[in-house]
Amino acid sequence: MSEAFESIAQGLREAIALNEGQAIQANTYRPEAIDVGQLRHSLGLTQAEFAAKFCISLGTLRHWERGDRKPHGPALALLHVVAKEPQAVLRALA
């Protein structure tokens, strides 16, 4: 088996183990969940305003606020940055 293949296979085994809740040797980072509705209210924005300002679909925002879905990946990272530095994000997106 080639070195490259073994590296890919090992990565897949670790991803599966992590997804199943097993401890793995790799360093991982999972941001905490965020209350999107509370964040939006703290900024004094309507759902439409928040969605437009931060490039999030209004439907997705509503699902997050109702709890039907949870933000993950880059969207969750963006929301954490918005929570800490909303004006910086708005400047960057302008």
From first to last of its 94 residues, what are the pLDDT tens digits of the chain? Answer: 688 888 898 888 888 887 888 888 777 677 899 999 999 999 999 999 999 999 999 999 999 999 999 999 899 999 999 999 999 999 999 9
Neighbouring C-alpha atoms within 13 Å toward the C-beta of 17 = 12
State the Rg of the chain over Cα. 18
Same domain, 53 and 67: yes
Same domain, 47 and 14: no
Count of domains observed in the chain:
2
Any idea what DSSP says for residue 65?
Answer: H
The phi and psi torsions of 31 (rounded to 5 degrees) equal -60, 150
How much of the chain is helix, strand and coil, in % rounded to 5?
A: 65, 0, 35
pLDDT at residue 1, rounded to an integer: 60
| Segments forming the whole domain that contains residue 11 | 1-30
pLDDT at residue 81, rounded to an integer: 97
pLDDT at residue 20, rounded to an integer: 87
Any idea what DSSP says for residue 89?
Answer: H
Same domain, 25 and 41: no
pLDDT at residue 77, rounded to an integer: 94
pTM: 0.71
